[in-house]
Chains A and B, each alone.
Chain A
Amino acid sequence: MTPLDWFVMIATVIAIPSFGLWRGRGSKTVNQYLLAGKTMPWYAMGLSIMATQASAITFIATTGQAYVDGMRFVQFYFGLPIAMVILSATAVPIFHRSGVYTAYEYLEKRFDAKTRALAAVVFLIQRGMAVGLAIYAPAIVMSVIFGWPDRITTLLIGIACVIYTTTGGIPAVTWTDVLQMSIIFSGLILGLITVVSLMPHGVGFTDAVYLAGTVGKLNAVDLHFDPNNRYNLWSGLIGGSFLALGYFGCDQSQVQRYLTGKSVAQSRIGLLFNAMAKVPMQFFILFVGAMVFVFYLFIQPPVLFERAAMKKISSQPEYAAVQRSFDQAWQRRKAAAERVSAARKSDDETRMRASVEEYRAAEKDLDTARQNGAKLYEKTSGASGFNDTNYIFLSFVTRYFPAGIVGLVIAVIFTAAMSSSSGELNSLAAVSVMDLYRRHFRPQASDRHYLMISRIFTALWGAWAVVFAQYAKNLGSLVEAVNWVGSFFYPVLLGVFILAFFFTRVRGPAAFWAMLAGEASILACFFFTKIAFLWYNVIGTVIVVVFGALFSIRRGREDRISAII
């Protein structure tokens, strides 16, 4: 990193918490601290929702994923706009008008206190682990790429987040999210312009796009239905809708955003704005990754992008053969790619077909050579499932981006880590105080007391996140476990909220047993089938709703809840 990169990065990282402290200076009541006094305009809410979703790893991993697997991951987001439309018409007005601080508070109004407490505890466990990982994930990548101590990085990100989130509450979080999203968008646009400008002479933008598409890197839509295939149009539209409904409708870190709206209409518009912006944004990030792939058609990449892994395998006797086969495959691929570009300009169909076949074959050979490198690392280290996807984009940025842009991209990653963590910290504090502390320990205290306790809980959750991040390195399998926990609980929570909103005859006991049935069905899918995880969201939700309705079928009309509170 050059001095200019350091300046850009440090200035950005200092400016964001300072801006948050300034915007959050007016939080004098618990309502202002947790709900911004319900004063937020739609664009701030919409950008804040996007920022909370977009963690640092989104930018690091998504670009790398496009490099390795193409753009099919964009289909994962196709269900999001559908979910936003449904939630803006259902959850937003219901939560707003019931005057709740948290989504789980509503469950007590509709069912009972233990359902609320159970949902709150599930959220705290799941989100409590996720907030530590949100800080940890970029730190470990930084440590490998730059050699920065990951403990110092997690501490710096954590302290910056805790300071402005504890002091300013949700107004600080939301307004810094707006600034952070502006920086993220700027970084992405500059990133794409830089990648394209780094292409060798004679390779234009359309050539680059064609070369990426020819080997399947622009596979944005797959119409083929296969329940075992993780990303296709149908899993994205159906499974993705259920996942987004669960995340945006039942996760307090998202619900809290639209509870801060000036009005129901502003909150609804905020969600619909997110619905329209999210898919193009993900497409754009993936497209940057695909362009990085094209760049490496002409500039030789390393066998493995993780430097520590490369260092490890380079001392092995088998390494020379792996590197040789990789070099030869890359040379063949480069020559073939150049022939494809030349054939495109000549309009010679026969020559074009031959060069495309050659190019695709060379790409397969190179991929095999790269996999041999990964296998050598696994054999050397004793680890299994080696994956260096997260290192591809950062490795590229630090090697080839000009001074200043590197600093901006690193700032984007820090910024994304802070935006997702601060939103999660504030929501964790809201649930801890409103659903547990105020409900079960001090129901009659003053507003000032709850404000103070909210700040204390924010700081405590921040401290927990930093401590968790310090030790996350030793919990490799837990990272995967946390992701699974999310997939296991969202459908059940979504199912119970659907029962609460739409099935007025369903009461607490029926909802409780339906939740258990839904959870059992998800576990059965996990242990006994190969169904892709997006479909768990559909199966779990449907089981909860069907069982909840069945358990309540004998209730008479007089048992109906008169309104949805």
Chain B
Amino acid sequence: MNLPPEMREGEPPPILGRWRNMNAVVLAWLAILILLFYAFTRYFS
């Protein structure tokens, strides 16, 4: 499997400096939501 050049370069995001940081924020947000929903499920069941 080879990563094409398009994926190795690219303009930076407007905030957080690097796309890696943006992606981490999105995935962390998902993890937080799942944890919150899980706590919500447990608490009210």
Contact = CB atoms under 8 A, between A and B. Distances in A.
A216 interface: yes
A220 B10 contact: no
Interface in A473-518: 501-504
Interface string B1-33: 111111100111110000100110011011001
A269 interface: yes
B34 A85 contact: no
A220 B40 contact: yes
A95 to B, nearest CB: 9
A220 B38 contact: yes
Given A81-B26, A82-B27, A220 B37 contact: yes
Contacts of A221: 34, 37-38, 41
A265 B19 CA distance: 9
A93 interface: yes
Given A265-B13, A283-B37, 13 more contacts: A74-B37, A78-B34, A81-B29, A212-B44, A214-B44, A220-B38, A221-B37, A272-B26, A276-B26, A280-B33, A502-B1, A502-B4, A503-B2
A485 B5 CA distance: 34
Interface string A203-227: 0000001101110101111110000
Nearest to B2: A504
**Top-5 shortest CB links A-B:** A213-B44, A564-B4, A220-B37, A93-B6, A221-B38
A503 B4 CA distance: 10
A97 interface: yes
Interface residues of B, number: 28
A296 B10 CA distance: 54
Interface of A: 74, 78, 81-82, 84-85, 88-90, 93-94, 97, 209-210, 212-214, 216, 218-223, 233, 263-265, 268-269, 272, 275-276, 279-280, 283, 501-504, 560, 563-564
A97 B13 contact: no
17 contacts: A78-B34, A82-B27, A84-B26, A94-B6, A209-B44, A219-B41, A219-B45, A220-B37, A221-B38, A233-B34, A263-B11, A268-B13, A269-B13, A269-B22, A275-B26, A280-B33, A502-B1
A269 B13 CA distance: 8
A249 to B, nearest CB: 14
B45 A218 contact: yes
A78 B30 contact: yes
A81 B25 CA distance: 11
Given A81-B27, A210-B44, A502-B2, A90 B7 contact: yes
Contacts of B40: 218, 220
A280 B3 CA distance: 33
A223 B37 CA distance: 12
A501 B2 CA distance: 8
A556 B12 CA distance: 36
B25 to A, nearest CB: 8
A212 B3 CA distance: 48
Given A74-B37, A214-B44, A219-B45, A563 B27 contact: no
A501 B7 CA distance: 10
B44 to A, nearest CB: 3
Contacts of B3: 502
B6 to A, nearest CB: 4
B26 A85 contact: yes
A563 B10 CA distance: 16
Given A78-B30, A209-B44, A279-B33, A501 B4 contact: yes
A78 B29 CA distance: 11
A360 to B, nearest CB: 11
B4 A94 contact: yes
B30 A220 contact: no
